[in-house]
C-alpha cells in the first residue's frame, strides 16, 4: 500500500499530465478553429463552448498543482518574520484560510453539479450535460484541498 | 461605509500576515456577504462567481498568452535578444545597461508578464554586467525596471484583466499601451544615460563584435518580431479575436521552442503546460476572491457612494483619475498588479463612467501605476525577483538602483495623465470614437 507522501506525489504527477492534456486541447481547439475558418471555410462547431469548458478544467487542474506546491500569490512583507517566530501558528492560520476557500469552492461546485444533473441542464450549443464539467471541477478542487492539507508544512 | 472599510482592512491585515491574497479576499468578502444576505446566499454567490470566471471565454486569452510566455522563456531567446540589443548600441559606453532595457522591451513583446521578463533578463544580463564592472545599483536597477515593460508593451495580462473588468476592447487597450510603452523605453534609456554620467565604464565588450555571434543575434530577433507582428497584426487586422491571437501566438512560440531543440520530450511539454496551469490558477484564485469582493461592494452600495462623493467634490475627469492613481500607488506598495486592478477598478468604475473618463486612457494610467508598484518599496516584486537571483546584492542597493527608473516611470505617468492622446492616439487611428 502506498504511503501518503507517495500518493500525494502520484496525484500531483497525474495533475501535471492532465494539465498537458487539457492545455494541448485548449491550444489545439483555438488553432483548429482559426485554421478551419480561414483555410477551409469551416470553423469548428461549438469551439467557443468547448474552449470555455476545457479552460475551466485547466484552471481547476492548475489549482491542484499550485496548492500542492503552496505557490499561491502572497505578500511577503512581514510574514517571513512572523513565520520564523511563530512557525506552527502562522502555518495554521494561513492553511485554514486556503483550505476553507478551496473546500467551499469544491462544495459549491458539487452542489451546482448535482443540481444541474437533477434538472438535466444542457449547454446551449453542444447540448453537453452541464453536470459533467461542473462535477469534474468539483473533484479537481477537492484534490486541491487534499493536496494542500497534506502539504509538508501542515 | 464602516463595514466595507473594516472588510478591506481585514483583507489587508490577513495578506500582511501571509494569508494568500485570493483566499483572504474570498473568505473575508464571502463572510461579509453572509452578514448582509445570509450564509446560503453567500455560498451560492461564491459558487456562481467561481464557475462563471473559470469558464469565461474572454478570459481564455490569459492561459494562452501565459503559455506563449512560458514557451518563449523555454526557447531561451533572451540571450540572443540581449546580443541583438547590444549590437544595436554598438560600442557606446554602458552598452550592456542600454541593451538590458531594449532586450527587456523585446522580450515583453512576446511575453506579457513583468515578473517573467525580470526573471529571464536577470539570468542573462546580470552576469554580463558584473563581468564588465557595472555597479550593483545600476545593473540590478536596470533589470528590475526593464522587467516592468512586460506589462505595458502588448500583449499584457493586466491589460487583459482590466479590459474584462471595465468591458473594454482588449485589442484597443493593447494598441493604447504601445506608445506609452515606447515612451517608457525611451525614458529608461535616458535614465541609464544620466546614471552613466557618474559611473566610469568600459565600452562595448569585444565578444559581441564577433561576426558569427552578431549574425546569430540578428537572426534571433526575427522570431520575436514575427510573433509580435502575427499576434498584434492579427488582432488589429480583425483577423483574430484576442483569444485566437493568443492561441496562434502560443502555437508559434511552441514551434520556435521546438525548432530550437528546447522541447524534445513529452516531459518538456508537460513541464510547460503544468507551469502555465499553475500560474493561471494562482491568477484566477485572485480573480475569484476579487470578484466576490466586488459583489460585496455592490451589495453594500460602495460604488454609488463613491459616485456621490465625486459629484459632491466636483472632481473633473483628470482630478478623479489623479485621485485613483494616488490610491493605486499607495496600494501598489503592498499589493501586486492583479490585486490592485481587481480591488480598485470595480469600486471606481461607476464614478469614472459618470465623469466621462476615457476608460482606455484610464486603463493605461492604472497599468503604469501598477508598474510603479513593482519597483517601489516595501513590496516591489521585480526587485525581489532580482534579489532572488542575486542573493549577495543588498535589497537596499537594488531599491536605490531602481529609484531613478521609478522617477522616470512617474514622469511618464504624469505625461500620460497630462496628454491623454499619448495613449488614445493609436486607438483613434483605428477608427475608435
Residues in chain A within 8 Å Cβ distance of B288: 105
Residues in chain B within 8 Å Cβ distance of A151: none
Per-residue pLDDT at B348 exceeds 90: no
So what's the pLDDT on residue B74?
87
B201 pLDDT tier (thresholds 50, 70, 90):
low
So what's the pLDDT on residue B119?
77
Give tens-digit pLDDT for B142-195: 999 998 887 888 888 888 889 888 888 888 898 899 999 999 999 999 999 998
B97 vs B74: CA distance, rounded Å: 24
Residues in chain B within 8 Å Cβ distance of A94: 17-20
B170/A contact by beta carbon, under 8 A = no
Residue B318: helix, strand or coil by DSSP? Answer: helix
Q: Which residue has the cell 463612467?
A: B353
Number of other CB atoms surrounding residue B237 within 10 Å: 10
Residues facing residue A122 across a β-bridge? A129
Picking from A34, A51, A137, the nearest residue to B54 by CB comes out as: A137
B403 pLDDT tier (thresholds 50, 70, 90):
very high
Give tens-digit pLDDT for B366-400: 999 988 888 887 767 788 778 777 778 887 888 88
Question: Which three cell numbers mark B208?
Answer: 559581441
So what's the pLDDT on residue B205?
57
Residue B112: helix, strand or coil by DSSP? Answer: coil
**Rg of the Cα atoms in chain B:** 22
- Stronger pLDDT, A19 or B69, i.e. the higher one: A19
Residues in chain A within 8 Å Cβ distance of B240: 34
Task: Average the pLDDT over each of B56-65, B345-354, B384-393 and give the range with the smallest value.
Answer: B384-393
Residues in chain A within 8 Å Cβ distance of B50: 105, 108-109
Give tens-digit pLDDT for A37-73: 888 888 889 999 999 999 999 999 999 999 999 888 8
Per-residue pLDDT at B410 exceeds 70: yes
Per-residue pLDDT at B207 exceeds 60: no
Picking from B16, B248, B276, the nearest residue to A23 by CB comes out as: B276
Q: How is B154-183 classified by DSSP, letter by letter?
A: SS-HHHHHHHHHHT--HHHHHHHHHHHHHH
Q: Do B22 and A101 touch (CB under 8 A)?
A: yes
So what's the pLDDT on residue B212?
64
Q: Do B59 and A55 touch (CB under 8 A)?
A: yes
Mutate to test the interface with A, among B277, B292, B385 (most CBs of A within 10 A): B277
Residue pair B338/B20 in contact (Cβ under 8 Å)? The answer is no
Q: Do A19 and B274 touch (CB under 8 A)?
A: yes
Going by C-beta distance under 8 Å and a sequence separation of 6 or more, which residues neighbour residue B73? Answer: B111, B116, B120
Write out residues in chain A with pLDDT < 70, as ranges: 1-2, 152-154
- Stronger pLDDT, B92 or B336, i.e. the higher one: B92
So what's the pLDDT on residue A10?
93
Residues in chain B within 8 Å Cβ distance of A63: 281, 284-285
Please give, rounded to a whole number of angstroms, the shortest distance from the CA of B213 to a CA of chain A: 34
Mutate to test the interface with B, among A38, A101, A131, A134 (most CBs of B within 10 A): A101
Mutate to test the interface with A, among B11, B19, B279 (most CBs of A within 10 A): B19
- Stronger pLDDT, B234 or A49, i.e. the higher one: A49
Residue pair B372/B332 in contact (Cβ under 8 Å)? The answer is yes
Please give, rounded to a whole number of angstroms, the shortest distance from the CA of B261 to a CA of chain A: 19
B208 DSSP 8-state letter: G
In total, the C-beta contacts within 8 angstroms joining chain A to chain B are 207
Mutate to test the interface with B, among A28, A74, A90, A110 (most CBs of B within 10 A): A74
Average pLDDT, chain B: 85
Residue B153: helix, strand or coil by DSSP? Answer: coil
Q: How far separated are the first and last CA of chain A, in Å rounded?
A: 23
Task: Average the pLDDT over each of A31-40, B225-234, B353-362 and give the range with the smallest value.
Answer: B225-234
So what's the pLDDT on residue B109?
77
B408 vs B188: CA distance, rounded Å: 7
Q: What is the mean pLDDT of residues B308-318?
A: 82
Picking from A55, A90, A100, the nearest residue to B60 by CB comes out as: A55
Residue B138 region by backbone torsions, left for phi larger than 0, else alpha for psi between -120 and 50, else beta: alpha
Residues in chain A within 8 Å Cβ distance of B335: 75
Amino acid at each position: 500500500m502506498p504511503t501518503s507522501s507517495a500518493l500525494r506525489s502520484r496525484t500531483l504527477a497525474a495533475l501535471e499530465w492532465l494539465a498537458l492534456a487539457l492545455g494541448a486541447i485548449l491550444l489545439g481547439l483555438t488553432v483548429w478553429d482559426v485554421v478551419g475558418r480561414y483555410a477551409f471555410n469551416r470553423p469548428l462547431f461549438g469551439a467557443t463552448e468547448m474552449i470555455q469548458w476545457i479552460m475551466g478544467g485547466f484552471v481547476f487542474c492548475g489549482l491542484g498543482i499550485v496548492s500542492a506546491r503552496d505557490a499561491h500569490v502572497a505578500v511577503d512583507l512581514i510574514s517571513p518574520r512572523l513565520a520564523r517566530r511563530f512557525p506552527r501558528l502562522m502555518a495554521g492560520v494561513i492553511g485554514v484560510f486556503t483550505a476553507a476557500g478551496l473546500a467551499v469552492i469544491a462544495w459549491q461546485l458539487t452542489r451546482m453539479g448535482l443540481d444541474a444533473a437533477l434538472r438535466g441542464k444542457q449547454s446551449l450549443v453542444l447540448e453537453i450535460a452541464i453536470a459533467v464539467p461542473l462535477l469534474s471541477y468539483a473533484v479537481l478542487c477537492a484534490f486541491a484541498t487534499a493536496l494542500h492539507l497534506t502539504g509538508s508544512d501542515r | 461605509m464602516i463595514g466595507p472599510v473594516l472588510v478591506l482592512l481585514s483583507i489587508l491585515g490577513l495578506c500582511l500576515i501571509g494569508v494568500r491574497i485570493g483566499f483572504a479576499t474570498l473568505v473575508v468578502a464571502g463572510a461579509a456577504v453572509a452578514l448582509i444576505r445570509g450564509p446560503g446566499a453567500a455560498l451560492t454567490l461564491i459558487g456562481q462567481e467561481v464557475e462563471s470566471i473559470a469558464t469565461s471565454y474572454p478570459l481564455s486569452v490569459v492561459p494562452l498568452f501565459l503559455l506563449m510566455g512560458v514557451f518563449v522563456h523555454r526557447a531561451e531567446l533572451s540571450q540572443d535578444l540581449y546580443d541583438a540589443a547590444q549590437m544595436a548600441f554598438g560600442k557606446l559606453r554602458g552598452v550592456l545597461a542600454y541593451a538590458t532595457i531594449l532586450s527587456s522591451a523585446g522580450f515583453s513583446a512576446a511575453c506579457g508578464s513583468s515578473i517573467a521578463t525580470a526573471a529571464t533578463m536577470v539570468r542573462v544580463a546580470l552576469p554580463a554586467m558584473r563581468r564588465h564592472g557595472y555597479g550593483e545599483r545600476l545593473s540590478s536597477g536596470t533589470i528590475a525596471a526593464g522587467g516592468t515593460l512586460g506589462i505595458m508593451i502588448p500583449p499584457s495580462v493586466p491589460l487583459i484583466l482590466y479590459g474584462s473588468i471595465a468591458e473594454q476592447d482588449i485589442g484597443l487597450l493593447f494598441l493604447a499601451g504601445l506608445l506609452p510603452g515606447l515612451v517608457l523605453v525611451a525614458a529608461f534609456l535616458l535614465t541609464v544615460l544620466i546614471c552613466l554620467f557618474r559611473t566610469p565604464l568600459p565600452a562595448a565588450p569585444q565578444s559581441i563584435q564577433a561576426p558569427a555571434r552578431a549574425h546569430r543575434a540578428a537572426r534571433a530577433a526575427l522570431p520575436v518580431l514575427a510573433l509580435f507582428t502575427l499576434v498584434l497584426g492579427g488582432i488589429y487586422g480583425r483577423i483574430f479575436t484576442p483569444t485566437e491571437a493568443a492561441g496562434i501566438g502560443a502555437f508559434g512560440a511552441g514551434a520556435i521552442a521546438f525548432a530550437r531543440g528546447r522541447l524534445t520530450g513529452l516531459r518538456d511539454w508537460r513541464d510547460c503546460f503544468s507551469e502555465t496551469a499553475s500560474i493561471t490558477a494562482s491568477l484566477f484564485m485572485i480573480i475569484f476572491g476579487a470578484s466576490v469582493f466586488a459583489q460585496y461592494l455592490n451589495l453594500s452600495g460602495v460604488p454609488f457612494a463613491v459616485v456621490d462623493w465625486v459629484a459632491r467634490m466636483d472632481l473633473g475627469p483628470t482630478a478623479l483619475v489623479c485621485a485613483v492613481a494616488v490610491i493605486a500607488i499607495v496600494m501598489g506598495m503592498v499589493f501586486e498588479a492583479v490585486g490592485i486592478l481587481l480591488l480598485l477598478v470595480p469600486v471606481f468604475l461607476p464614478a469614472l463612467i459618470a465623469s466621462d473618463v476615457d476608460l482606455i486612457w484610464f486603463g493605461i494610467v492604472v497599468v503604469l501605476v501598477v508598474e510603479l508598484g513593482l519597483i517601489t518599496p516595501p513590496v516591489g516584486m521585480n526587485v525581489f525577483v532580482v534579489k532572488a537571483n542575486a542573493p549577495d546584492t543588498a535589497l537596499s542597493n537594488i531599491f536605490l538602483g531602481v529609484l531613478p527608473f521609478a522617477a522616470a516611470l512617474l514622469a511618464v505617468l504624469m505625461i500620460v495623465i497630462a496628454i491623454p492622446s499619448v495613449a488614445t492616439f493609436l486607438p483613434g487611428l483605428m477608427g475608435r470614437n
